[in-house]
Amino acid sequence: MIPDYLRKELSVLFFIIKKKQTTTNEISHELELTKRTVRETISTINTHFEDLQKCKDFIVTKKSGSVQIQSTFKLTALNSAYNL
């Protein structure tokens, strides 16, 4: 059984990975999370990637609300997520 917090993190992570670019609004709407929760979850995911895989700013969020995997990690994003 996957705990709720981890299920949420995985849902956000894989939603972002499967999109070339998305927004916090779209993630919020599709996953039925508040925008604040989405932003906090992205921050948590980035912390995990930095601590465990030395990948700084794996997910990039712009002030406009656009969200995407940093270009450096796009080709290996799926493998990195599974290794996390």
What pLDDT, on the 0 to 100 scale, is given for residue 1? 78
Confidence of residue 27 (pLDDT cuts 50, 70, 90): very high
CA distances from 50 to 44, 54, 84 (A): 10, 4, 10
What pLDDT, on the 0 to 100 scale, is given for residue 45? 97
Question: Could you give all domains of the chain from N- to C-terminal order, each with its CATH number?
Answer: 4-79 (1.10.10.10)
**Total-model pTM:** 0.92
According to the 3-state scheme, what is the secondary structure of 1-68?
CCCHHHHHHHHHHHHHHHCCCEEHHHHHHHHCCCHHHHHHHHHHHHHHHHHHHCCCCCEEECCCCEEE
